[in-house]
């Protein structure tokens, strides 16, 4: 049986054999936000199912491919569609692509997601720069023996979201006239949305948004010593805030509505990284 490092290297070698550039920035594109990958120039798209050792995406609305090329003059690799723990992958499987990005030469990842607003001052359509996270998933992708070649046993999470990039993102948003929020992303495994009581807890403990992704990937990114920028698209208010039920349609509708802003924000940030 191949160990994790051998699997990572095998995947990375396969990808390297298909691409002409060395990506420095990795993009993980959330629900409805995969459109950003369509803007990549000189793009080479590689379906996840072609890549040795990659899990295969199951969720509709996710293209399920890596797109490698140039965006705003930067060499990037984008995940169009990601793997979620709630789909039945292990935490290690769901975060495997982050390790492969590191092996490709990536130094920074930009992680995006659709999230519910727990902070009552937020409205659907807001973009939120992630300043920190709370892991309420009751799990961690680093559980198990630690491979020192991949990272330390006890990674520091004091500055999980690179302060310099938080500042850059806020500066760019201001210049573009986008009223971004800055907040704490709270991870639940899903696939249920939270209950109103859970959302009251999130508010009490300092969470501003809730979602079902990103935190496992950021944990692995920090283990891999990658810099991180996280951006949430607040697609709906979390349970108990408005007098209406939650559904995935609203999530997709909102991402469609704000995708232009989202694209211009991320592209301008990329340009200045
Ligand atoms: Cl309200 N909760 C979670 N966990 N994920 C979401 C969401 C809510 N809205 C969009 N994604």
b/e map 228-253, b = 16+ CB within 10 Å? bbbbbbbbbbbbbbeeeebebebbbe
Q: How far apart are CA 103 and CA 178, in angstroms?
A: 34
> Is the CB of 116 inside a 6 Å radius of any atom of ligand 1?
yes
Residue 32: predicted pLDDT:
82
Please give the distance, rounded to the nearest whole angstrom, from the Cα atom of residue 247 to the centre of ligand 1. Answer: 9
Ligand 1, from 115, 234, 246: best to mutate by most atoms within 8 Å of Cβ? 115
Q: What percent of the chain has pLDDT over 70?
A: 97
Summary mean pLDDT of the chain: 95
> Which residues have a catalytic role annotated?
31, 62, 84, 86-87, 114, 212-213, 236, 248
Residue 171 confidence (pLDDT) above 80: yes
> Is the CB of 119 inside a 6 Å radius of any atom of ligand 1?
no
> Is the CB of 210 inside a 6 Å radius of any atom of ligand 1?
yes
Q: Pick the atom of ligand 1 nearest to 188's CA.
A: 4
CB 142 within 8 A of CB 4: no
Q: Is 269 exposed, middle or buried (0-12, 13-18, 19+ CB in 10 A)?
A: buried
Question: Tokens in use for 257?
Answer: 């509505």
Q: Pick the atom of ligand 1 nearest to 238's CA.
A: 1
Q: Is 222 annotated as a binding residue?
A: no
Tell me the pLDDT tens digit for each residue of 52-90: 999 976 655 456 899 999 999 999 999 998 999 999 999
State how many domains the chain has: 1
Q: Provide ipTM, 2 decimals.
A: 0.98
CATH number at residue 147: 3.40.50.1580
> Is the CB of 213 inside a 6 Å radius of any atom of ligand 1?
no
Residue among 246, 272, 267 at smallest CA distance from 112:
267
Residue among 158, 159, 142 at smallest CA distance from 150:
142
Q: Is 31 annotated as a binding residue?
A: yes
C-alpha neighbours within 13 Å on the C-beta side of residue 217: 31
Backbone angles phi, psi at 167, to 5 degrees: -65, -45
Axis crossing angle, helix 96-104 with helix 215-223, rounded to the nearest 10: 40
> Is the CB of 211 inside a 6 Å radius of any atom of ligand 1?
yes
Q: Is 214 exposed, middle or buried (0-12, 13-18, 19+ CB in 10 A)?
A: buried
Q: Is 114 annotated as a binding residue?
A: yes
Residue 34, domain extent:
4-272
Compute the CA torsion angle 93, 97, 98, 103 (nearest 10 deg): 120
Q: How far apart are CA 239 and CA 241, in angstroms?
A: 6
In three-state secondary structure terms, 250 is: helix
Mean pLDDT over 104-126 rounds to: 97
> Is the CB of 238 inside a 6 Å radius of any atom of ligand 1?
yes
Check the CA dihedral 265-167-177-126 and report its sign.
Answer: positive
Q: Is 236 annotated as a binding residue?
A: yes
């Amino acid at each position: 049986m191949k160990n994790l490092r051998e699997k990572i290297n095998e995947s990375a070698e396969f990808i390297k054999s298909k691409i002409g550039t060395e990506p420095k920035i990795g993009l993980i594109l959330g629900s409805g936000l995969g459109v950003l990958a369509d803007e990549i120039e000189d793009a080479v798209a590689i379906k996840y199912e072609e890549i040795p050792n990659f899990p295969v995406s199951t969720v509709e609305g996710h293209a399920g491919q890596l797109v490698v090329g140039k965006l705003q003059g930067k060499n990037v690799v984008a995940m169009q569609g990601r793997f979620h723990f709630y789909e039945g992958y292990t935490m290690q499987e769901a975060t495997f692509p982050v390790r492969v990005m590191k092996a490709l030469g990536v130094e920074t990842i930009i992680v995006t997601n659709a999230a519910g607003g727990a902070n009552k001052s937020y409205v659907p359509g807001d973009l939120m720069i992630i300043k920190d996270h709370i892991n309420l998933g009751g799990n961690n992708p680093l559980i198990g023996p630690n491979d020192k070649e991949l990272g330390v046993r006890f990674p520091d999470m004091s500055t999980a979201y690179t302060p310099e990039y938080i500042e850059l993102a806020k500066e760019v948003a201001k210049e573009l006239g986008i009223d971004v929020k800055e907040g704490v992303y709270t991870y639940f495994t899903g696939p249920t949305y939270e209950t109103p009581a859970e959302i009251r807890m999130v508010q009490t403990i300092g969470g501003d948004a809730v979602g079902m992704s990103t935190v496992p990937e950021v944990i692995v990114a920090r283990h891999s010593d990658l810099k991180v920028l996280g951006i949430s698209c607040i697609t709906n208010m979390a349970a108990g805030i408005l007098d209406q039920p939650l559904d995935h349609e609203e999530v997709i509708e909102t991402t469609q509505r704000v995708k232009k802003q989202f694209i211009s924000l991320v592209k301008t940030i990329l340009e200045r990284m």
